[in-house]
Amino acid sequence: MRAGDLLHIPSEVLLVEIESGEEPLRYIDKYMFTAKPELAIYLNKCKQLEGYSRIVCGGQVWLVLSKSIYLFEKSTEGEQHASRIS
């Protein structure tokens, strides 16, 4: 997956914003659960938290569990579908 890829995020997925800083221990500044399926843009893998990805959703940068997001792809017939990210 590359920065800028379009993602599908199902409903009831936890999005978190982590306090920035140099310390290894981080605090959650803000969190929310998606109320409905959302579109997002992939930024990169989170270096501080294994298994999480940085995304842009609703105009904000969030961390999300990588297993909870799906990559939008076009099939050869031109239809769009989402596939799980490993």
Domain with 58 in it: 6-84
Per-residue pLDDT of the chain (86 residues), as tens digits, is 899 999 999 999 999 998 766 665 567 889 999 999 999 999 999 887 889 999 999 999 999 999 999 998 765 565 565 666 55
Q: What is the pTM of this model?
A: 0.80
Task: List the CATH number of the domain containing 25.
Answer: 2.30.30
The angle formed by the CA atoms of residues 66, 13 and 83, to the nearest 5 degrees, is 50
Please give the pLDDT value at position 47: 83
Please give the pLDDT value at position 62: 95
Residue 1 lies inside a defined structural domain of this protein: no
What are the φ/ψ torsions at residue 2 (nearest 5 degrees)? -125, 155
Over residues 12-34, the pLDDT tens digits come to 999 999 876 666 556 788 999 99
Number of domains in the chain: 1
Residue 38 lies inside a defined structural domain of this protein: yes
Under 8 Å CB-to-CB from 14, ≥6 apart: which residues? 31, 32, 33, 64, 65, 68
How far apart, in whole angstroms, are the C-alpha atoms of residue 73 and residue 5? Answer: 9
